[in-house]
Structure 1
Amino acid sequence: MLKALVIGVSDYTSIKQQNLPFCKNDIHVVRDSLVSGLKTDKSNVNTCGETGIVTGAEFLCALNNLILSTGTGDTVIFYFSGHGGSLPDGHHLFLSDAAIKTKDIIENLEKAPAKNKIVILDCCMSGNFTIDQTATFNIDEAVEEFAGRGYAVLASSNATQLSFGHPDKPISLFTSFLCEALNDVHIIRQGKKSLYDISKLLFLYLDIWNKKNPHKQQTPIFRANMGGTIFFEVQEYHPYLTARIYEETEDYIIYAVEPLHTGSLKRYAVKVILKSPFSFEEISIANHEIVNKVKKADVYKNDISQKRWQGKSANLVFCYFGRDESDIVNSNYLCHTTWVDEHQDKKWWYRIDNNSIIINDIHFNIHSYYENLKIFTEENIGDKDILIEKTKSIMSHLITLAEKVIGLYNEFLNGTKSEETLMDDLGTIIPSIDKYYFEETDLAIPPIELQEWSQCCSNLSATIHDFTLFYNKRYLSTKTPDNRIACMNMTVSRYYDDLETLKKIMI
């Protein structure tokens, strides 16, 4: 459940500071955006400052009530709009009659039982804060417990900048862009918005503003000790369900039919288990039988493909023949075949080389390595418990290193690190990522029951290793600075998606 405290301080008469009339308006637009953009229950959004006045006592009472009302599965959002400034002991938020140290507020929120907390500060010099070290993944915890746990702080300006009101709206500039990002429907994926995508879009809006308004620069700051990111469920998601075909006959099992359709061809890949040691001649006969069964099948990946091909016969059918389920799982096949209809260029599809042959109008590609690979696989399947332990150990190191990389990269985006400094910092981390990545690739082959989990870990490991490619002095000449940022952003997004996928797989 998402719970929020939204504060706007407009009246500073008591402490003889300039009043900020737009801050009490910020309360309404932020509350409405949390409701409309993140589907927060309106009753879970508490506000302070409707009259423009927020006293220290009122503030502390509201903050304490927020902390006490949260449960372990909740997400907490704290938003402040008003004066802010740096005093000798650090950054402070200014209320109508008092100043409260920003770090104290963050530390108090961190003690809340909620799994994650988001602090949003729209005030001058709001980037003048530090956070504890980046998230550390413990080998004994589940990814589900790690991902999204911790806190993140999103500030409207860096440690020396002012925060401005919007020139055309009765609200603040930062809050205007924040609400646009919260309400954006184009960042919804599979019914969810992520904190990462919201902050990235917000950064983009302010980057555009800064380019157009060089004399009123606001550089937003994002820092977090959170593992992964937070995903907000904002709409019902009904994934397209691909039909599954499984059929067992006396001679073979159709294990799976997978759609490979393009815009111009309807194509299927069929995974087949042979129940007897058939000759290639016998396989060709079975192949025609299988083609007749599946060529008018309705198996698609999405609605667009279904509308395009439903009711039509396949143009191509690829069949992959193994002798047992382990062959299918490990993608080790005795042979694979190609059948094409009479409208295709058979000279192209039925090309002959040293490993191929045509039998009964079926093109065979024979895998001469099949037996050797099968023996190798059987001899190198790891013990389940040992493999789980080794994989968890490696992934705990890799995920912790990934969070360090992202933390350093965020400081580069925040403008507190130069690209040269970022590369120097990453130079001390890259060797460790290389080490654990290659250890993961050298693990034993997983038994069938671990296959999906192991593959997800391998995917995540490869994504983390990609972090070593962009700000590595060895590859500096291969990309422009803008291209490095684009590649890194895409990899960070993929890392969060890989973590989310791994959360769903239990072992």
Structure 2
Amino acid sequence: MSKTKALVVGVSHYYEPSIDNLPFCKNDVAEVRRALVHGLNIENEDIISLGEKGNVTVSDFIDALIKLSDSTDKNDNLIFYFSGHGGGESGNQHCLVFSDSAVSTQAIIQYLEKISAKGKAIFLDCCFSGNYSVDGVTSFGFEDTINDFAGKGYAVLSSSNSTQVSFGHPDKPISVFTSFLCDAFQDKLLVKQGMVSLNDIQKLVCLYSQVWSHRNPDKQQQPIFRANMGGTIHFKVNEFIPYHPVKIYEECDEYIIYDVKPVHIGVTKRYSVGVILKAPLSLDEISKVALEVTRKVRRVEVYKNANTQLHLSGKLADIIWIYFGRDESDMIRSTYLCITTWVDDAQNKDWWYRVDNEDTFMINNVHFKLLPYYESLRCINLDNMGSREKVVDETRDMLASLITLAEKIISLYNEYKNAIITEQALIDELDTLVVRVNEYYIRSTDFAIPPDEIKNWSEACSLLFGTIHDLSLYYNKKYVDQRTTDNRKACMEMTVTRYYSDLERVRMLEKNT
């Protein structure tokens, strides 16, 4: 079982008389440790702390690094935090300053990168801390799995850029950046399905810092975020127990109730029912099946979440749609022969039972809608369905190409957010990447139809491809005039978040391929 290990360092006391002591740094250590335990649910024994009394020598630090490295498994995540003096503005090598000496920041990053942990998150709270680099951008290979790729690598978030100092908080006995970081670690609104992403943590810290800089123009701090990592790290902070809807399945002589899906809205209880016809029935016979299924389904209790169950439990269904197909593949692919609608007397039957074309009509008080392209769709599915091996291979090849391009786009966008490159420079840098993404995306829309057993995985990959294509739109020279600067940023932020979410869904479904 993977865990998160942490090394938390704060240096308050310095032996060199010319270097000012920083009393709040030892408080930073205690505050970060508390936030890691209560926010990210890291075990106390998995956190190594240095500097609670103010002193941290280079020897102390090296010993702690070795201890951290020795205790870390290849599937673990690692957090390194430093608070203290930082030396070396832009153009000079940056160093983290300990009580007795200094160590190259880049050398520390490189050492941490080599530790066997899967994902490493590095937080630097010191002056000029944005004066660091990461080694390139991660790439995804054909033989790689999303499970191994997602969250693998390292990311660095600094408290300031390469020319700014970092400040103590005016109202708290800790630093400004550490205050924001601890708030982000413990923000319950960031928890999704029991996990908090590194992406959400850094976004919230950057937002808090932006507000701080606006209110304190003489003490501005611009956090710098860079990563050589596949996707983002998801820290498990609590046990997530998903709500599992009740599964309804019933086999009768003439039909099978394949599933019942809740589509409730407000106080209206509604169900969508998939029914497989086991025999070639007439429309009149199908109407009788529809009425029989309706009587059964009206009383079932199927919900998407506990809140809806609390409000609608015990209530009869108000509206029931039944989707008829001829086999399980029809159910999986949403290929239906006809759809029937039943509503209770409280509904507007003139609306729900309207007959406005030759494919809609009433039989036995059941509203029918025929789907005239049913046979054609079945033929298209069968004629264009690829083998499992072919679909998996061409999809994995596309994953390798598009994910690698997505990581490059996000890396360049981060440098724009870091104020290292201008918006125009970003647009120019993305020009060739945009063309390649578009070419690959168009190719992905012409893949063979996947067999039923990998349909969900294939569709999740297609959604991921679409999201990566969206990443290429907002700073595309063709469309840049259609949005404002703020709108481009907002759209890009939402799409980056969606990319990480889509990547996680593909990872979860990958084991079935």
Shifted more, 161-170 versus 13-22: the winner is 13-22
Structure 1 position 161, deviation (Å): 0.6
Letter paired with 1:70? T
Q: Which of residues 140, 150, 161 is equivalent to 1:137? A: 140
2:23 aligned partner: 21
2:154 aligned partner: 151
2:358 aligned partner: 354
Residue by residue, what CA displacement relative to the aligned partner does 1:67-104 show, whole Å, maximum 9, x if unpaired? 22211111111111111121665111111221111110
Q: Which of residues 220, 223, 233 is equivalent to 1:220? A: 223
Shifted more, 399-408 versus 43-52: the winner is 43-52
Partner Cα separation in structure 2 for residue 480 and residue 306 of structure 1: 43
1:47 aligned partner: 49
Residue by residue, what CA displacement relative to the aligned partner does 1:148-184 show, whole Å, maximum 9, x if unpaired? 0000101000011110011111111100111111111
2:423 aligned partner: 419
Provide the secondary structure at the position in 2 that maps to 1:38: coil
Shifted more, 126-135 versus 7-16: the winner is 7-16
Q: Which of residues 325, 343, 346 is equivalent to 2:346? A: 343
8 Å contact from structure 1 (residues 15, 96) kept in 2: no
Letter paired with 1:446? P
1:206 aligned partner: 209
Partner Cα separation in structure 1 for residue 464 and residue 52 of structure 2: 46
Q: Which of residues 268, 273, 297 is equivalent to 1:270? A: 273
Provide the secondary structure at the position in 1 that maps to 2:362: strand
Structure 1 position 437, deviation (Å): 1.5
Confirm or deny that 1:395 pairs with 2:399: yes
Partner Cα separation in structure 2 for residue 462 and residue 279 of structure 1: 41
Residue by residue, what CA displacement relative to the aligned partner does 1:267-299 show, whole Å, maximum 9, x if unpaired? 110011111111111111110001001012100
Provide the secondary structure at the position in 2 that maps to 1:486: helix
Shifted more, 48-57 versus 267-276: the winner is 48-57
8 Å contact from structure 2 (residues 263, 269) kept in 1: yes
1:384 aligned partner: 388
Unpaired runs of 5+ in structure 1? Answer: none
Letter paired with 1:7? V
Partner Cα separation in structure 1 for residue 128 and residue 271 of structure 2: 59
2:82 aligned partner: 80
Confirm or deny that 1:94 pairs with 2:97: yes
Structure 1 position 433, deviation (Å): 1.2
Task: Please show how residues 264-303 of structure 1 align to structure 2 within 5 Å.
Answer: 264-303=267-306
1:375 aligned partner: 379
Task: Please show how residues 292-331 of structure 1 align to structure 2 within 5 Å.
Answer: 292-331=295-334
1:67 aligned partner: 69
Structure 1 position 453, deviation (Å): 1.0
1:499 aligned partner: 503
8 Å contact from structure 1 (residues 78, 118) kept in 2: yes
Q: Which of residues 471, 474, 480 is equivalent to 2:478? A: 474
For these two proteins, the number of residue pairs brought into alignment is 507
Give identity over the alignment, percent: 50
Partner Cα separation in structure 1 for residue 353 and residue 426 of structure 2: 52
Partner Cα separation in structure 1 for residue 308 and residue 99 of structure 2: 60
Shifted more, 174-183 versus 346-355: the winner is 346-355
Letter paired with 2:323? Y
Structure 1 position 374, deviation (Å): 0.9
Unpaired runs of 5+ in structure 2? Answer: none
8 Å contact from structure 2 (residues 267, 312) kept in 1: no
Residue by residue, what CA displacement relative to the aligned partner does 1:434-480 show, whole Å, maximum 9, x if unpaired? 12212222111111111111111111111111112222232223332
Confirm or deny that 1:118 pairs with 2:121: yes
8 Å contact from structure 2 (residues 194, 240) kept in 1: yes
Shifted more, 45-54 versus 441-450: the winner is 45-54
Residue by residue, what CA displacement relative to the aligned partner does 1:127-162 show, whole Å, maximum 9, x if unpaired? 011101111111112110000000010100001111
Q: Which of residues 175, 178, 184 is equivalent to 1:175? A: 178
* Shift in alpha-carbon separation, 1:168–1:63, aligned structure 2, 3 A: same
Provide the secondary structure at the position in 2 that maps to 1:46: strand
Letter paired with 1:232? F
* Shift in alpha-carbon separation, 1:434–1:15, aligned structure 2, 3 A: farther
Confirm or deny that 1:161 pairs with 2:164: yes
Confirm or deny that 1:429 pairs with 2:460: no
Provide the secondary structure at the position in 2 that maps to 1:153: strand
Partner Cα separation in structure 2 for residue 51 and residue 256 of structure 1: 63
Confirm or deny that 1:246 pairs with 2:213: no
Letter paired with 1:272? V
User: If the length of structure 1 is used for normalisation, what is the TM-score?
Assistant: 0.98
8 Å contact from structure 1 (residues 22, 170) kept in 2: yes
Partner Cα separation in structure 1 for residue 393 and residue 178 of structure 2: 46
User: What is the RMSD of the two structures over their aligned residues, measured on CA atoms?
Assistant: 1.3
Structure 1 position 15, deviation (Å): 5.7
Letter paired with 2:434? I
8 Å contact from structure 1 (residues 15, 97) kept in 2: no
Partner Cα separation in structure 1 for residue 445 and residue 220 of structure 2: 46
Structure 1 position 354, deviation (Å): 2.8
2:453 aligned partner: 449
8 Å contact from structure 2 (residues 409, 472) kept in 1: no
